[in-house]
Amino acid sequence: MTDWTTDDSAELYGIRRWGNGYFDVSARGELTVRVPTADGSIQVALAEILDGVRQRDLRLPLLLRIENLLDAQITRLNEAFRNAIAEHDYPGSYRGVFPIKVNQQRQVIEEITRFGAPYRHGLEAGSKAELMIALASLPADGSLIICNGYKDREFIDLGLRARQLGFQCIFVIETPAELPVILARSRALGVEPRLGVRVKLSTTVGGHWNLTSGERSIFGLSISQLVEVVDRLREAEMLNTLRLLHCHLGSQIPQLDDIRSAAAEACRFYQELMNEGAAMEMIDFGGGLAVDYLGTGSSDSQSRDYSLAGYAAALVETVMTNLTDPDRPPTIITESGRETVAYYSLLLFNIFDVTRFDPAAEGLIPGPEAHPLLRKMASRLERIGAETPQQNYREIVACRDRLHELFTAGQLSLRDRALAQELLLAAGRRLLRQSPGQQLPADLQTLREDLAAIYYGNLSVFQSLPDHWAIGQLFPVAPIRRLAEKPQCHAVIADITCDSDGRISRFIADRGTRATLALHELAPGEDYVLATFLVGAYQETLGDLHNLFGDTDIASVRIEADGGFVITREDRGDSVADLLGYVQYDARELKARFRATAEQAVRENRINLPQRQEILACFNAGLDGYSYFET
């Protein structure tokens, strides 16, 4: 314990590997956020921010947004391309675009447009609703809006009207069926469109989300469809409206070589469209820029083997190599949503209960009257510390299994079955102590996980971390205090939903993943708070209402150069009444129905009038309360 340092905790939880320079551990053992300033950086403890938020009556679980990190990420992205363009003497320019689908929350979009204004950072809209967000958020001074997805007449009319207002609104054609509608509405409204085409590349990239790459992608035009679109535009004398080539390389692409290969193929399509006579101006490489969730800098699907600077340089180099006309350099566009917002948000939640799988009395010895199998288990337990520990443990497991059968047949008492469980737990603990850090045989490899404690967290995985539940996405997790102490307990985290999938049971490790997380033993009365990081991308908009746990409280802070911070926005999470409304229950009707039930109980003399009032007040308080665990 005394040899443990805060550097050990930083290494254990990988904070400096996945934190992108934004998170660290203070000398006091508190997890900190580090934000850039004009003359360096400043660190503030997350515990200090949480204390300030709680003084404003916001509750855990809490989604904490740190504005400085969004500002910093937008700056880093644009400056990376600016530096790559300068380094390679590229005569063109770069425009960043944020895909609204990655996080549609109003505050997020407003801050992206505010922080992105110096770089003329645009937005990508994949639906009518998202287009309306873009039009209401960006200035009508040539702001870039990329319109992806399938488009009906209302979508197209709105985009054409946006061009009248001064927006640079580009329709990306996903299917040939869209083109006749766009041309017809353009003629009817007297507004010339700006068009792009999305092509299906043959290059297939690696990673979790690669189904948008390759010729079998469900989005985009095949080569024959692309030729058809060009021919139709030429026949309509509107080939000059085709200005952009779009391709989506994939999301969370871990390998830079894949990005280079796909970008080179996209450049060939761009060149051929120029050869056809299209007035090409922009090449949009879509998403793909990965976040290193694991912090391993590897080709794992949840990491990346390149830096942001390397990504920008690869695209600039590829365009310069494959598009050589110096008089018509395309504007390079990327739609890097995940990298932009992932670091900006983190989820804070408290641990309110623990289940441990430890023997109550490891030295307990069955008496001579105990079942022979129990006495055999105790004998093998003693041998674990001396000889063939793994084989003795296997024999203990076999005895336990036979005792379970006897219990089911009514031939073993409840107390004897409990003793069998105690002996098995004692054997498992002793075996792990005999083989610290060793690789166990295949049939025993889950032993550490089987004996891990369950820490019950005040959160809903389905609501706040849906990608962890659905596709096994890993998010870094760490306590925000006590990082100067060595954690002694290996645990998994269960949420407060009554569902076995409501848990976090895979965690990042120094060379990949692990099944448990090292945490501290809870002290009596302690408020033990964990943070889950890199949750800004997709998690807020994909969450569902499993068990009717809704949106958490939200606090946005901006850290000042003097080390202080201001809370710029507070949003209360869903009440129980809010959530019931989402599933078509009217709170007033529920109150009336429950009031009638209570009144009936008064008439039948089961409760008196004061009790009726107390019961109704309890019901009403429940409707108005937070959907999560309240202390």
Q: Which two tokens stand for residue 25?
A: 């551990």
Per DSSP, 225 falls in state: H
Q: Which two tokens stand for residue 126?
A: 């994949």
> What Cα–Cα distance (Å) separates residue 195 from each residue in 144, 264, 324?
13, 22, 23
Whether the Cβ atoms of residue 55 and residue 534 lie closer than 8 Å to each other: no
The SS3 of residue 441 is: coil
Taking each helix axis from N to C end, the angle separating 128-137 and 106-116, rounded to the nearest 10 degrees, works out to 50
CA angle, corner 616, sides to 611 and 617, nearest 5? 95
> What Cα–Cα distance (Å) separates residue 218 from each residue in 102, 174, 227, 541?
19, 9, 18, 22
Residue 339 CA, distance from chain mean position:
11
Residue 333 CA, distance from chain mean position:
24
Query: Would you call 618 a catalytic residue per the annotation?
Result: no
The SS3 of residue 275 is: helix
Q: Which two tokens stand for residue 39?
A: 């003359």
Can you list the positions of beta strands (E) in 194-301?
194-198, 242-246, 282-284
Measure the N-to-C terminal CA separation of the chain; round to a whole number of Å. 31
Question: If we measure between CA atoms, which residue out of 282, 301, 277, 281 comes closest to residue 291?
Answer: 301
Whether the Cβ atoms of residue 332 and residue 315 lie closer than 8 Å to each other: yes
In angstroms, the CA 304 to CA 207 distance is 10
In angstroms, the CA 348 to CA 360 distance is 32
Residues in the chain: 631
In angstroms, the CA 15 to CA 30 distance is 12
Question: If we measure between CA atoms, which residue out of 446, 400, 401 comes closest to residue 423?
Answer: 400
Q: Which amino acid, one-letter code, is at 48? A: E
Strands 529-532 vs 345-355: parallel, antiparallel or unpaired: antiparallel
The SS3 of residue 28 is: coil
Taking each helix axis from N to C end, the angle separating 153-165 and 178-189, rounded to the nearest 10 degrees, works out to 50
List the catalytic residue out of 147, 247, 399, 498.
Answer: 498
In angstroms, the CA 326 to CA 138 distance is 31
Phi, psi of 509 (to 5 degrees): -135, 175
Contacts of residue 66, defined as CB under 8 A and 6 or more positions apart, other chains included, come to 33, 35, 344, 345, 346, 556, 557, 558, 559
Q: Which amino acid, one-letter code, is at 401? A: D
CA angle, corner 183, sides to 181 and 188, nearest 5? 95
Question: If we measure between CA atoms, which residue out of 158, 105, 157, 116 comes closest to residue 138?
Answer: 116
Just list the catalytic residues: 498
